[in-house]
């Protein structure tokens, strides 16, 4: 089977750095993606790791360790607009199939 674990809630202040962890179990692992979803909005793609290491896209970075079945999303210089749910999602060798974690609700306080 497949399972993902991520914290249900994280709170941080504006300007801070926050890390959202994701551990997974899946057969035929292909890669780990991150999506952001604002309340009432559509999920939007943030980042993808297919290989070990860090991927940086502006204020957001994502990390993967395949040997530890672990990844994280790092958000820097937090802004109020970053308050949203963040989902990690794994893909395996069944093309096009994304399995989402339960989501982490990030609240950014002034």
Partner 1 sequence: DTEVTQTPKHLVMGMTNKKSLKCEQHMGHRAMYWYKQKAKKPPELMFVYSYEKLSINESVPSRFSPECPNSSLLNLHLHALQPEDSALYLCASSQDLISGSYEQYFGPGTRLTVT
**Residues 27 to 46 in contact with partner 1, rule: CB under 8 A:** 30-31, 33, 41-45
DSSP line for 36-71 = EE-TTS--EEEEEESSSEEEEETTEEEEEETTTTEE
Shortest Å, Cβ 2 to partner 1? 11
Stretch that binds partner 1, among 18-26, 53-61, 68-76, 97-105 (CB under 8 A): 97-105
Q: Which residues, at least 6 apart from 1, have a Cβ–Cβ distance to it below 8 Å?
A: 25
Q: Scan residues 74-93 and list those touching partner 1 (CB under 8 A).
A: 87, 91
Rounded to whole angstroms, the Cα distance separating 32 from 69 reads: 10
Say whether residue 94 binds partner 1 (CB under 8 A): yes
Q: Scanning residues 44 to 63, which ones bind partner 1 (CB under 8 A)? A: 44-45, 48, 50
What's the closest the beta carbon of residue 53 comes to partner 1, in angstroms?
15
């Amino acid at each position: 089977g497949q399972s993902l674990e991520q914290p249900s809630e994280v709170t941080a202040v504006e300007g801070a750095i926050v890390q959202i962890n994701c551990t997974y179990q899946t057969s035929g692992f292909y890669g780990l993606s991150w999506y952001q979803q604002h309340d009432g909005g559509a999920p939007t793609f943030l980042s993808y790791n297919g290989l070990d290491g860090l991927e940086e896209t502006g204020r957001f970075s994502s990390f993967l360790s395949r040997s530890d079945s672990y990844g994280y999303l790092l958000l820097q210089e937090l802004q109020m607009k970053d308050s949203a749910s963040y989902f990690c999602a794994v893909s395996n060798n069944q093309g096009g199939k994304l399995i989402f974690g339960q989501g982490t609700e990030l609240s950014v306080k002034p």
